[in-house]
Amino acid sequence: MQPLDILILSNGPGEITTWVKPVLRSLRQRLPDHQQARISVVLSPCPHASGREAQIAQSYPEVDRVQGSEHFWRFLLRGRTADSWDWRDRGVVLFLGGDQFYPLVISRRLGYKSVIYAEWEARWLRWLDRFGVMNDSVIERSPRPYRRKLAVVGDLMSDVRRVKESEHLSQQLGLSADTELVGLLPGSKPNKLEQGVPLVLAIADYLRVTRPQARFVIPVAPTLDLETLAHYADPGFNRLMAVIQAPQPQLVQPSTGRLPYFKTQAGTQIFLWQPFPAYDVLTRCQICVTTIGANTAELGSLAVPMVVMLPTHQLDAMRSWDGLPGLLSALPGVGRPFIKLFNLVALGILQRSGKQFAWPNIWATQEIVPELWGRLSAQSVGDRVLDYLIHPAKLAAMSQALQQVRGQAGAADKLADLVCENLDLPISLPDYSSGS
Domains and CATH numbers, the chain: 4-157+408-422 (3.40.50.2000), 167-405 (3.40.50.2000)
How far apart, in Å, do the first and last CA atoms of the chain sit?
A: 31
Is residue 163 predicted with pLDDT exceeding 60? no
For residues 163-185, give the mean pLDDT: 83
- Give the contacts of 32 (CB within 8 A, at least 6 positions apart): none
Alpha carbon distance 134, 120 (integer Å): 7
Nearest to 206 by CA among 141, 270, 256, 133: 270
Q: Report whether 67 contacts 43 (CB < 8 A).
A: yes
Among 36-45, 51-60, 153-162, the least confident range:
153-162
R_g (Cα) of the chain, nearest Å: 23
- Give the contacts of 405 (CB within 8 A, at least 6 positions apart): 300, 360, 363, 364, 368
Is residue 185 predicted with pLDDT exceeding 90? yes
At 430 the pLDDT is: 43
Is residue 339 predicted with pLDDT exceeding 70? no
Torsion of CA 119, 125, 128, 130, to 10 degrees: 60
At 194 the pLDDT is: 92
- Reported as a pLDDT band with limits 50, 70 and 90, residue 223 is confident
At 148 the pLDDT is: 95
Is residue 431 predicted with pLDDT exceeding 70? no
- Give the contacts of 127 (CB within 8 A, at least 6 positions apart): 104, 108
Alpha carbon distance 198, 341 (integer Å): 24
At 230 the pLDDT is: 96
Is residue 196 predicted with pLDDT exceeding 60? yes
Is residue 316 predicted with pLDDT exceeding 60? no
DSSP string, 380-426: HHHHHHHHHHH-HHHHHHHHHHHHHHS--S-HHHHHHHHHHHHTT--
Alpha carbon distance 80, 86 (integer Å): 9
For residues 33-45, give the mean pLDDT: 96
The per-residue pLDDT of the chain, averaged, comes to 87
Q: Report whether 200 contacts 238 (CB < 8 A).
A: no
At 329 the pLDDT is: 47
Tens-place pLDDT, residues 356-388: 789 899 888 899 999 998 889 999 999 999 999
Is residue 162 predicted with pLDDT exceeding 60? no
At 337 the pLDDT is: 58
What is the DSSP secondary structure assignment for residue 19, as one 8-state letter?
Answer: I
For residues 325-340, give the mean pLDDT: 50
Tens-place pLDDT, residues 378-421: 999 999 999 999 999 999 999 999 988 887 778 999 999 999 99
Compute CA distances 112 → 29, 92, 105, 360, 415, whole Å. Answer: 22, 5, 10, 35, 17
